[in-house]
Amino acid sequence: MIELSNIIKSFNGNLVLKDINLHIQKNKIYAILGPSGSGKSTLLRCINLLEIADSGNMRLCDVNIDFKSKIKKYDILKIRKHTGMVFQNYNLFANKTALQNITQSLISVHKYKKQQAYEIGMYYLSLVGLKDKANFYPNALSGGQQQRIGIARALAFNPDIILLDEPTSALDPELVDEVLNTIKLIKDKTMILVTHELHFAQKIADMIIFMSDGEIIEVSTPNNFFNSPKTIRAQQFLSKFNNYTDYII
């Protein structure tokens, strides 16, 4: 589904992704874990071209990107049609209702008719349990509700791939579960989730990708990663979580 080869990305001479190679399989759930600053968000953003890597190649569905060449607008659009993104801070439009937040790109980018977009929007609002909030503006919704709208928006155009960057880290602890439960509703998608929720990652992911200092250090099953991490860096990362043993199956 996605093949990343030799991806390099730096910001002002600071090397943030150091030769990333990664194969993402269709309809599997991947959780990216790792310390702060290790390049998790940058990697996710390079995948949907919110950031442009300095070099390397990406194949995503039917799109081939050579980061050394100028990226065509047409390819950016194609990548965006394949990928729905959920952001840490929801990124909802404050001046649009919950429903309009979902329908806007359906109409402007994906060229749905208004009525069709409305029906799709209402369907996804129901899916995330917020049909009754369709006409509410974001500031009248809790953080958890806003993020559930963010998830509905990412799902609404039926992308093959969902990218989630710490979707619960801006939330008060009591609101985290409602968003995690909403993520569990996502079916038949390829999903890449950056998270600090280790327990959730262990339960939901097919594969764990552990990053440290701009590199992918381990790619392994949750069972292997949490029970017998191969590298010292992964062991150190896991030992920082006091209740690490809670995560062992």
Ligand X SMILES: Nc1ncnc2c1ncn2[C@@H]1O[C@H](COP(=O)(O)OP(=O)(O)OP(=O)(O)O)[C@@H](O)[C@H]1O
Compute the distance between CA of residue 67 and CA of residue 45 in angstroms, rounded to an integer: 14
CA distance 3 to 13: 25
Instruction: Identify which range of 37-45, 99-107, 110-118, 144-152 contacts Mg ion by CB under 5 A.
Output: 37-45
**Does the protein bind ligand X through residue 97 (CB under 6 A)?**
no
DSSP letter (8 states) at residue 33: E
Under 8 Å between Cβ of 51 and 41: no
The least distance separating ligand X from the CB of residue 117, rounded to whole angstroms, comes to: 32
Residue placing its CB nearer to ligand X in the complex, 111 or 240: 240
Minimum CB separation of residue 150 from ligand X in Å reads 17
Phi, psi torsion values for 24, nearest 5 degrees: -110, 125
Mark residues 33-52: x for contact with ligand X by CB under 6 A, - for none: -x-xxxxxxx----------
Residue 56: C-alpha distances to residues 37, 43, 76, 223 (Å): 21, 12, 16, 31
Question: Judged by CB, which is closer to ligand X: 152, or 193?
Answer: 193
Determine how many CB atoms are found less than 10 A away from the CB of residue 10: 14
44, two tokens: 């996710």
Tell me which of ligand X, Mg ion, none is bound by residue 133, counting a contact when its beta carbon lies within the kind-specific cut-off of 5 to 8 angstroms: none
Is 195 a residue that touches ligand X (CB under 6 A)? no
Q: How far is the CB of 81 from Mg ion (least distance, A)?
A: 24
Q: Which of 4, 17, 33, 41 binds Mg ion (CB under 5 A)?
A: 41
193 DSSP β-pair partners: 31, 164
201 counts as binding ligand X under rule CB under 6 A: no
- Residues composing the chain: 249
In whole angstroms, the minimum distance from the beta carbon of 96 to Mg ion comes to 26
Residues that bind Mg ion (CB under 5 A): 41
Residues that bind ligand X (CB under 6 A): 11, 16, 34, 36-42
